[in-house]
A and B are shown apart, each in its own frame.
Chain A
């Protein structure tokens, strides 16, 4: 490896770039995932075909999956490294602190991130590896995503868990969308407000979109 690459990855700003880029990639993933998931409202046919079609391009699918895993790993790794570095930089707390000017979500990214990580693992175990509810899914066709979703969310606690998780993601994203742009050096007084609004808007859309599915199932709108 060139030494400058290594140096860049050791620097605070280099690490932030990695984190921001991987985060942005994941945001695009989420937007894609959400659009896919929305097909559920078009009925079992639509979403199942969608799932099936994806599987018809295994190379693309796997490339994308690998990329996603890399992004997640990079994101989590830089998050861990930076969080440790930042804690070490500030070892003594104030007796009285008033974090004026900073938002709650910006100060708790590590925590929300960690919750998201747990959620992703659970979620993969749930739908991708189908480990959590073997009794429910054992009868299903491999691409009957619709039924898989509907059957799962009969349980109110699971619905609660998904809502909570998507809300955590929303908190994470209210800071991170504008933040990642700032990290990449995009900041102009004229557009900052718009960027922040757009960030909040996307975060909320993702939250409402994702959490609408379990809620709709629970309410019997999807069955």
Chain B
């Protein structure tokens, strides 16, 4: 099948970028979206041009590396699917596709379709953990946890840190991402001792990184490849205010 691509090309963070048009030949419907780009890249290299840079690694929807907006939709048109799991059979002959990087002030473009997502790591370092040194744990079954809670916690923990939520959000808010970690641990007994501190620390870093506020537009939920619910954002909203109003003394940086 034949398609037309408009791909964002940008040399580095400092230079200006623009959309370039490509018409890859021989697109096979069984190819994954990234394999289609691979084939295009092979052509480009052979022509002496710089290949299109895009983040990818596992190619099975779990590492969260791949990150591109396809026709205005982060990870493309299929629900609950990362770009690497998207297959060309989701498109039709003659389709015209716009491929752009995640757009957010906090995620500056590094090159072409690759953006800098290290703000997520810095948010994690501000409380996305249970402080338990190796070797100090009790027996795993000493603490029964209801299956419902464990399952709910798992659903929040399924976040792959891809950043599609930010890319989809008109405010470039990373609230869905932050809420997954806060929720995962807030739902489990292990997470309770640091629950307030975690919500405060992670949210403060979120704001500091320049992500916007959540105005509950829910685009993130629709774009999230793991279909994570904004129910988690509500939990974050709750925990953060509870911490602010009643436990301001938990405001300590992670470096203690």
Name the A residues within 8 Å of B168 (CB-CB). Answer: 99-101
- Within the assembled complex, what's the spacing in Å between the Cα atoms of A17 and B204? 15
Residues of A within 8 A of B (CB): 2, 4, 7-8, 10-17, 82, 85-86, 88-103, 106-107, 109, 175, 178-179, 182-189, 192
Contacts beyond the supplied A12-B203, A90-B169, A103-B218: 5 A-B pairs with Cβ under 8 Å: A8-B245, A12-B213, A15-B213, A90-B103, A101-B222
Sample of 7 A–B contacts (CB below 8 Å): A4-B251, A8-B241, A12-B207, A82-B213, A94-B100, A98-B71, A179-B216
Smallest distance from the beta carbon of A152 to chain B beta carbons, Å?
35
Name the A residues within 8 Å of B69 (CB-CB). Answer: 94
B189 CB–A CB distance under 8 Å: no
Q: Is the CB of A102 within 8 A of B219?
A: yes
Name the B residues within 8 Å of A100 (CB-CB). Answer: 72-73, 168, 219, 222-223
1/0 contact trace for B168-180 toward A, CB 8 Å?
Answer: 1111110100000
Smallest distance from the beta carbon of A3 to chain B beta carbons, Å?
9
Main secondary structure of the interface of A (DSSP, over half): helix
Smallest distance from the beta carbon of B185 to chain A beta carbons, Å?
17
| Given A86-B173, A94-B100, A95-B6: A106 and B105 interface contact (C-beta under 8 Å) | no
B23 CB–A CB distance under 8 Å: no
Name the B residues within 8 Å of A17 (CB-CB). Answer: 237, 241
Smallest distance from the beta carbon of B2 to chain A beta carbons, Å?
19
Name the B residues within 8 Å of A182 (CB-CB). Answer: 216, 230, 233-234, 237
Name the A residues within 8 Å of B173 (CB-CB). Answer: 12, 86, 89
Smallest distance from the beta carbon of A23 to chain B beta carbons, Å?
12
Name the A residues within 8 Å of B207 (CB-CB). Answer: 10-12
Q: Is the CB of B214 within 8 A of A16?
A: yes
Name the A residues within 8 Å of B171 (CB-CB). Answer: 86, 89-90
Most interface-central of A2, A12, A14, A185 (chain B CB within 10 A): A12
- Within the assembled complex, what's the spacing in Å between the Cα atoms of A128 and B214? 36
| Given A4-B244, A184-B237: A90 and B72 interface contact (C-beta under 8 Å) | no
Smallest distance from the beta carbon of A91 to chain B beta carbons, Å?
5
Q: Is the CB of B172 within 8 A of A90?
A: yes
Picked from B98, B216, B239, the residue with its CB within 8 Å of the CB of A96 is B98
Q: Is the CB of B217 within 8 A of A107?
A: yes
